[in-house]
């Protein structure tokens, strides 16, 4: 299939070309220009690029070298990984001994390409590297990415869609930053970091780009639109902050590029970590923070909140109780304040454990306060600015430790041992890890940033061995796979907002992810509480709730109980990533032995109520009729085949809808026991046709009251209800629906008999 969008060419002999599904790649040996052509939806596109090296001398003078200026030394290509990838490597060199290696890996099974750029230097090389630009616009190219609609094999002469703006989805390099959607404007470059997707509302994604762990902690993208329809300037680089070069060299990337549908691309991107370093399965975690930002944390306040939590939830399905940082006397020393914790932290942890909860604690080992003993006695342990002053991090009088220093690594090991060995905590949250990557002067100027960060994190990992280690405010790409879980949003979620759900797919890496959810905000509505709890439940396997249990009315307690445990059997993915007002539709396919369905989440981040009409063709569903049931209103929305209508979503609220394929037998369409409406609380569903009975096996921790909603064929009605493990009753509120009220503890089995019209005759 010829790609009609290609308008860029380079003259001269010596081209290497490879084609994969949906992508083709060409490299020009004479001038180091390379082209990628792809098909995405109804768009075809071409990207032209070269690679650049940005260097700096000891006096701060910069130098930029294009790979075209380096002499060709060698090139080779090969099939690898049982023929599933094609790999092409080019080595070039400059007269001063600097060697650059470019490597391109094209998948034979998916529309994916990986790009690496590596430097090797002679001993004593005087220059440092500022950045490696893996994808740079060639000289003379104002735009290097061209996209065009393609209909039935012909260019789109009318320019349909030219007025629809391009949008950028920035997933971010650090969880300290929110994921965001940005409209692309002409000639004004926009920056994204870590992982980004470019697309349009009418077509979906055009291209997805992401950095995998390398020598840089993060990669940066710069993209700008232009007055030419479909023409943009795209560049991607790995930054090193004036890293001294050593003979072992330094590598930029790998940079991953995909032309796949965005849901497929996100899953494949995350699963790279699972393939490279398979992690041990980590169970879901529902925890409660007993600290309050507006309240001084003391032993008394923590235990009062613990007592209130146990009273409120009765049979709490939360696994752990957490004391957030704020318990310490000084940031950087990480010793408890004896006035506020007179019996010590171990006594508090023992109380948590005696009440059936795993004790957890938070600290920020990368930070040092000016008031701390560590600052006074070890000032050389800090990252410095060029003028010699310690680098401030985030808050006044907080500074970052230099993780290239061996004494600092020893200190981190000692700090990491305290929570578990001395105080007997089982869950440890390492907060503000991003501080380890702050720009500045360090003791070792030749350690790549990623190696420095991973060295520090692994020292902490070894020190906390046997405990559950969570990361917060951390660089995403170099933290996945190194910890047991990661919070993907630094700001607690208190209402409907897309940022946290945009990162839920990261759980496919094998590392559970999640968010903090506030449920007791002073001006927070019940609809906002439901949205925050929904995001926590579906955010990737970890839900950390925060709030004063003493202030929670029964209505809010019920919301929390219905979202515990968090869902970890799939990832919600964005369905409208390039919508004009930002992504608000998310969905996940749920697969259970007794049935499959689709879970749709519709957010309303605005300050006014909205109504939504959603075309089912926009969802990853097979054509047909579906039973639609909304969880928070516990309402059956009918059988839908073309459009789903949600008449009202409250400001800051959300709707969660289960879409089950319609069947001509009694079937479950919704429950009130858990947000997923069957994925967690239903262990088995079987219709016994010969006896005209529906058998339900239920499992949910604690004493539970709720209902299971069934759809039945027209003319059918419920008969006797039998069960074990609780009390049960059935009623038929309307034709075609049956509600089964259940009251049980932990597990139960229910059997509902039905009478059909034919049977009554």
Q: What is the CA radius of gyration of the chain?
A: 28
Asked if residue 93 has pLDDT above 60, the reply is yes
- Whole-number pLDDT of residue 248: 76
Task: Give the containing element (helix H, strand E) for 531.
Answer: helix 526-538
Confidence of residue 58 (pLDDT cuts 50, 70, 90): confident
Q: Which tens digit of pLDDT belongs to each residue from 137-157? A: 999 888 999 998 765 344 443
Range of lowest pLDDT (238-247, 665-674, 708-717): 238-247
Whose tokens are 């409406």? That residue is 677
What is the rounded CA–CA span in Å between residue 335 and residue 327?
8
> Taking a C-beta distance cutoff of 8 angstroms, is the pair 466, 522 a contact?
no
Q: Reply yes or no on whether the pLDDT at 10 is more than 50.
A: no
User: How buried is 274 (Cβ within 10 angstroms: 0-12 exposed, 13-18 middle, 19+ buried)?
Assistant: middle
* Residue 439 confidence (pLDDT) above 80: yes
Q: What is the pLDDT of residue 388?
A: 87
Residue 632 CB: number of other CB atoms within 10 A?
22
Mean pLDDT of the chain: 90
Over range 232-251, report the average pLDDT.
86
List helix spans (H) across 539-611. Answer: 554-561
Query: Six-digit token pair at 388?
Result: 């010699």
Token duo for residue 13: 């002999």
In the predicted structure, residue 274 carries a pLDDT above the cut 80: no
Per-residue pLDDT, 396: 77
Task: Specify the pLDDT at position 292.
Answer: 79
Report pLDDT for 757. Answer: 65
Distance CA 492, CA 289 (A): 12
pLDDT in tens, 693-752: 999 999 887 788 999 999 999 889 999 999 999 999 999 999 999 999 999 988 999 999
Token pair of 347 as six digits: 């006594």
**Tens of pLDDT, residues 168-204:** 999 999 998 889 999 888 768 899 999 999 998 877 8
Question: How many other CB atoms sit within 10 Å of the CB of residue 21?
Answer: 14
Whose tokens are 């061995």? That residue is 465
Per-residue pLDDT at 162: 55
Which of 56-70, 216-230, 236-250, 329-343 is predicted least confidently? 236-250
User: Closest by alpha carbon to 238, among 211, 206, 205, 272?
Assistant: 211
Q: Which pLDDT score, from 0 to 100, does residue 278 have?
A: 58
Looking at the chain, the whole-number percentage of residues with pLDDT higher than 90 is 70
Angle between helices 406-417 and 449-463 (to 10 degrees): 30
**Could you tell me the strand order of the sheet in which 626-630 lies?**
573-574, 585-592, 595-603, 654-661, 626-630, 635-640
Q: What is the pLDDT of residues 253-270, one digit of tens each?
A: 899 999 999 999 999 999
pLDDT value at 451 more than 90: no
User: Which residue did the predictor score with more confidence, 636 or 229?
Assistant: 636
Residues 107, 41 contacting (CB under 8 angstroms): no
Q: How does pLDDT run across 280-330, given as a tens digit for each residue?
A: 556 789 999 999 777 889 999 999 999 999 988 876 679 999 999 999 999
Tell me the two tokens of residue 467: 């405990």
pLDDT one-digit tens code per residue, 601-643? 999 999 999 999 999 999 999 999 999 999 999 999 999 999 9
H/E element, 147: strand 145-151
pTM: 0.93
Q: Is pLDDT larger for residue 403 or for residue 274?
A: 403
CA distance 197 to 480: 20
Residue 677's CB is within 10 A of a number of other CB atoms, namely: 27
Query: Of the candidates 291, 266, 439, which has an alpha carbon nearest to the alpha carbon of residue 362?
Result: 291
Q: What is the pLDDT of residue 191?
A: 92
pLDDT of residue 598: 97
Instruction: Using the predicted structure, report yes or no on whether residue 112 has a pLDDT greater than 80.
Output: yes
Q: Is the pLDDT of residue 276 over 90?
A: no
What's the CA angle centered on 200, arms 197 and 204, to 5 degrees?
70
Is the pLDDT at 160 greater than 70? The verdict is no
The pLDDT score that the predictor gives to residue 151 is 55
- Residue 12: per-residue pLDDT: 44
- Asked if residue 164 has pLDDT above 90, the reply is no
What CA–CA distance (Å, rounded) separates 440 from 304?
Answer: 43
Report the share of the chain in percent with pLDDT over 70: 94
For 214, the token pair is: 């390398």
Q: Regarding beta strands 99-107 and 85-93, do their DSSP bridges make them parallel or antiparallel, or are they unpaired? A: antiparallel
């Amino acid at each position: 299939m010829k790609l009609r969008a290609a308008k860029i060419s380079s003259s001269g002999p010596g081209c290497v070309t490879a084609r994969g599904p949906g992508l083709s790649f060409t490299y020009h040996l004479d001038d180091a220009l390379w082209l990628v052509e792809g098909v995405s939806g109804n768009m075809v596109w071409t990207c032209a690029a070269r690679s650049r090296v940005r260097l700096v001398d000891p006096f701060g003078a910069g130098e930029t070298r294009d790979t075209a200026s380096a002499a060709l030394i060698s090139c080779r290509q090969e099939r690898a990984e049982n023929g599933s990838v094609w790999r092409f490597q080019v080595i070039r060199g400059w007269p001063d001994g600097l060697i650059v290696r470019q490597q391109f890996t094209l998948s034979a099974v998916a529309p994916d390409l990986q790009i690496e750029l590596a430097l090797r230097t002679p001993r004593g090389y005087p220059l440092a590297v500022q950045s490696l630009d893996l994808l740079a616009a060639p000289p003379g190219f104002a735009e290097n990415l061209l996209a065009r609609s393609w209909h039935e094999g012909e260019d789109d002469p009318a320019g349909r869609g030219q007025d629809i703006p391009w949008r950028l989805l920035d997933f971010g390099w650090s969880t300290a930053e929110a994921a965001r959607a940005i409209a692309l404007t002409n000639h004004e470059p926009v920056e994204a970091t870590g992982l980004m997707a470019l697309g349009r509302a009418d077509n979906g994604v055009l291209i997805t780009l992401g950095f995998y762990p390398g020598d840089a902690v993060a990669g940066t993208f710069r993209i700008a639109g232009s007055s030419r329809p479909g023409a943009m300037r795209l560049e991607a680089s790995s930054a090193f902050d004036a890293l001294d070069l050593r003979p072992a060299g330094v590598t930029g990337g790998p940079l991953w590029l995909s032309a796949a549908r965005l849901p497929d691309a996100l899953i494949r991107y995350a699963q790279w970590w699972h393939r490279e370093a398979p992690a041990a399965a980590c169970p879901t975690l529902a925890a409660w923070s007993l600290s309050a930002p507006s309240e001084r944390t003391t032993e008394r306040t923590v235990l009062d909140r613990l007592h209130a939590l146990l009273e409120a939830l009765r049979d709490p399905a939360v696994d752990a109780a957490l004391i957030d940082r704020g318990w310490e006397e000084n940031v950087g020393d990480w010793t408890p304040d004896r006035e506020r914790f007179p019996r010590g932290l171990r006594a508090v942890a023992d109380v948590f454990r005696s009440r059936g909860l795993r004790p957890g604690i938070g600290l920020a080992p990368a930070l040092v306060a000016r008031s701390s003993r560590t600052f006074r006695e070890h000032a050389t342990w800090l990252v410095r600015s060029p003028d010699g002053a310690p680098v401030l991090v985030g808050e006044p009088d907080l500074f970052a430790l230099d993780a290239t220093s061996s004494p600092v690594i020893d200190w981190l090991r000692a700090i990491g041992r305290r929570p578990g060995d001395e105080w007997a905590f089982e869950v440890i949250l390492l907060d503000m890890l991003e501080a380890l990557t702050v720009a500045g002067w360090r003791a070792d100027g030749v350690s790549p940033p990623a190696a420095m960060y991973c060295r520090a994190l692994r020292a902490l990992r070894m020190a906390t061995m046997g405990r559950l280690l969570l990361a917060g405010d951390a660089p995403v790409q170099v933290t996945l796979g190194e910890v047991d879980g990661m919070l993907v949003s630094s700001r607690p979620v208190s209402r409907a907002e897309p940022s946290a759900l945009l990162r839920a797919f990261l759980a496919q890496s094998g590392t559970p992810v999640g968010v903090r959810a506030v449920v007791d905000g002073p001006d927070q509505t019940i609809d906002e509480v439901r949205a925050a709890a929904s995001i926590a439940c579906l955010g990737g396997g970890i839900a950390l709730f925060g709030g004063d249990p003493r202030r929670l009315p029964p209505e809010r307690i019920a919301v929390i109980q219905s979202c515990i445990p968090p869902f970890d059997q799939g990832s919600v993915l964005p369905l409208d990533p390039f919508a004009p007002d930002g992504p608000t539709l998310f969905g996940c396919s749920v697969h259970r032995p007794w049935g499959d369905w689709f879970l749709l989440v519709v957010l309303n981040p605005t300050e006014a109520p909205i109504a939504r009409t959603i075309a089912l063709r926009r969802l990853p569903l097979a054509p047909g009729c579906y039973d639609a049931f909304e969880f928070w209103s516990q309402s059956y929305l009918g059988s839908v085949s073309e459009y789903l209508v949600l008449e009202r979503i409250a400001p800051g609220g959300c709707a969660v809808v289960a879409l089950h394929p319609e069947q001509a037998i009694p079937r479950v369409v919704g429950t009130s026991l858990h947000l997923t409406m069957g994925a967690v609380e239903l262990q088995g569903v079987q219709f016994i046709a010969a006896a005209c009975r529906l058998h339900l096996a239920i499992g949910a921790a604690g004493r539970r009251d709720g209902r299971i909603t069934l759809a039945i064929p027209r003319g059918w009605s419920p008969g006797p209800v039998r069960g074990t493990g609780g009390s049960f009753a059935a009623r038929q509120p309307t034709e075609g629906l049956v509600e089964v009220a259940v009251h049980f503890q932990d597990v139960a089995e229910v059997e509902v008999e039905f009478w059909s019209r034919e049977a009554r005759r």
